[in-house]
Amino acid sequence: MLFVNDIFYSIQGESSFAGYPCKFVRLAGCNLKCSYCDTEEALTTENSRKLSVSEIVNDLNKIGGKIRLAEITGGEPLIQEAVYGLFDELIKLNYTVLLETNGSIDLKSVPEKIVKIVDIKCPSSGFSHKNNYKNLDYITATDELKFVIGTEDDYAFAKDFLKNNLIKTSKIIFSAAFAAMSSKDLALKILRDELNVRLGIQLHKILQLK
């Protein structure tokens, strides 16, 4: 059984899959509480339903028709052990499965076929000390690293992180923290420093979708 905050169908907005129709399972509960969190309703299990993997799959079958892109997000999905059963079932059903995770929990057991979108916490999040550097060993070329940047210190931290660590993927996303830094300012920094990273823009928010 899994604590589920929401199951919905929308446009994927924050990764290299941005713009594609996607089915979302937002799990409830998180081990962190970042300063810029925009899904506070999913930080605890209070606003959730307890569903089995089969019930979740049945709900997904009711939305999005033939779409076979699904994202497991939160909260923090990996704090619920039953999520691995959901991964396995969605893989069997030929979904491309995205996992949005905060990067603090060991990724070793996440199936290889899952596309891991891993947040690297910058200082303004309040949790840069929770980055699990061992997880860099489990990142593959199909996975993604995302840095949410709200301050100059965050930007410097992200640049240093890329410089000082072995990164096995070219899918690196710098995204401006909502209401803390403008996407244009961040874009200008990326251009100035000639960084080979993708500017992330929360497309779903621009479109006023979930």
Q: Which of 90, 119, 87, 86 is nearest to 105 (CA)?
A: 119
- Taking all residues of the chain, what is their mean pLDDT, rounded to a whole number? 96
Alpha helix (H) ranges present in 64-198? 83-92, 152-164, 183-193
Q: Give CA separation, 64 vs 8, 23, 58, 73, 159, in Å.
A: 9, 7, 12, 17, 38
Does a structural domain hold residue 78? yes
CATH number of the domain encompassing residue 29: 3.20.20.70
pTM over 0.85: yes
Does a structural domain hold residue 31? yes
- Count of the separate structural domains present in the chain: 1
- Lowest mean per-residue pLDDT among 17-26, 53-62, 196-205: 196-205
Does a structural domain hold residue 74? yes
Question: Quick check: 208 pLDDT over 90?
Answer: no
Span 121-128, average pLDDT:
97
Angle at 207 between CA 205 and CA 151, to 5 degrees: 30
Does a structural domain hold residue 60? yes
Question: Quick check: 180 pLDDT over 90?
Answer: no
